[in-house]
Amino acid sequence: MLKFQDRYPLKNLTTLQIGGPAKKFVIISSEKELIEAIKFAKQQNLPFLIIGGGSNLLVSDEGFEGLIIKNEITGISTFQESPSTSLGTRKPTWKVSVKSGTVLQDLVNFADEKGLSGLQDLAGIPGTLGGAVFGNAGAYGQTISDHLVSVKTLNINNLAIEQFSNNTCQFEYRSSIFKKNHYVILEATFLLKKNGVESLKEESSNILTKRAVKYPPGIKCPGSFFKNLVVADLPKEVLSKIPPEKIVYGKVPAGSLLEEAGARGASLGGIEIADYHANLFINKGEGTAKDFYNLAKKYALKVKEKFVVTLEPEVQLINLPPLN
Ligand SMILES: Cc1cc2nc3c(=O)[nH]c(=O)nc-3n(C[C@H](O)[C@H](O)[C@H](O)COP(=O)(O)OP(=O)(O)OC[C@H]3O[C@@H](n4cnc5c(N)ncnc54)[C@H](O)[C@@H]3O)c2cc1C
């Protein structure tokens, strides 16, 4: 029996710890419960939103006049896909199927423990597998889509199960088809190669150490706020304004443009931009979505004036107007 709660404070569900109440809130832990929750929302004529770890959300201070469904459908299963050849020239591959509410770090730990390579650099990215597939999360040159084979979804219009293969997911830098349509991600399947357990663990552990410097434990933030800019997508006139040394791996980090615009260390109310990283907006304790939004908008405008580019939020804005 699902337990719906009224006026649930969404700040309790976001890593930024900001957000007014949801009219209704429910936690689901099976596909059956998910369908039940969606049917409830439809019957009550309520908009609904599925969330995972709340680590990529800026929720308005007014909250959400609908049903928030927190996804806790978890589980990981593995099947050996191909054994190594008799000559030992090909590494064996494993199929790994992961339910969307699984914490991403649990998946990374699982893969490292089993010596399955391809997810180790995602160590430390908060949130769930579903959130990671939605936004094609990535770090240190690896993305969740690199070794993903297929995604199982629920079409929220007709409640039918639909499968997407990797090439129909429209994965791009921090984007996928799931950002543009009406599917709940239920499960993703990966094909991973066997590798040394110790080397994978070491790689993940080194990344966790690096990340702890940028994101000290307890930091209240939604990760980087704006997307970096893909150089290949920028018109020549725009690129000519950007110093070439700012380009890293084919992208112009939004942080370096924000820095040029004076964002480092700036603040508004309880929201502060890190003095070491201009794309990191932190809630110092009593921050509001309004202050966060206005501060982000102010510096996005300054970047636009200086470099003639429009910064797009990576973070999902809930019940807030588009920033641009
Ligand atoms: C300290 C910190 C560091 C971060 N570092 C990185 C990083 O290095 N790289 C990176 O890519 N991101 C990073 N992020 C951002 C964030 O962790 C990722 O975007 C993460 O994948 C979001 O997952 P989530 O479960 O928290 O999603 P949520 O924040 O809960 O939701 C985000 C969006 O995904 C949708 N969604 C969630 N689950 C589903 C589902 N099952 N089906 C359909 N839609 C769904 C939601 O509706 C929402 O629109 C960081 C965030 C923090 C706080």
The CATH number of 76-214 is which of 1.20.58.100, 3.20.20.70, 3.30.465.10, 3.30.365.10? 3.30.465.10
**pLDDT tens column, 49-84:** 999 999 999 999 999 999 999 999 999 999 887 776
The CATH T-level fold of domain 229-318 is 3.90.78
Ligand 1, from 38, 51, 207, 283: best to mutate by most atoms within 8 Å of Cβ? Answer: 51
Q: What is the CATH number of domain 5-71?
A: 3.30.43.10
Q: Where are the domains of the chain?
A: 5-71, 76-214, 229-318
Task: Please work out whether the CB of residue 164 comes within 6 Å of at least one atom of ligand 1.
Answer: no
Question: 139 CB under 6 A from ligand 1?
Answer: yes
Predicted confidence band of residue 289 (pLDDT cuts 50, 70, 90):
very high
Does residue 178 line the site of ligand 1, with CB under 6 A? Answer: yes
pLDDT band at residue 248 under the 50/70/90 scheme = confident
Q: Tell me, using a 6 A CB cutoff, whether residue 188 lines ligand 1.
A: no
Distance 8 CA to ligand 1 centre (A): 20
**pLDDT reported for residue 245:** 86
List the one residue out of 98, 8, 118 whose CA is nearest residue 54: 8
Alpha-carbon dihedral 193, 199, 203, 205, rounded to 10 degrees: 120
Ligand 1 in reach of 176 Cβ (< 6 A): no
What number is the average pLDDT over the span 202-220? 97
pLDDT in tens, 145-160: 999 999 999 999 999 9
Catalytic residue IDs: 174, 224, 314
Most ligand 1 atoms within 8 A of CB, residue of 15, 59, 102, 134 to mutate = 134
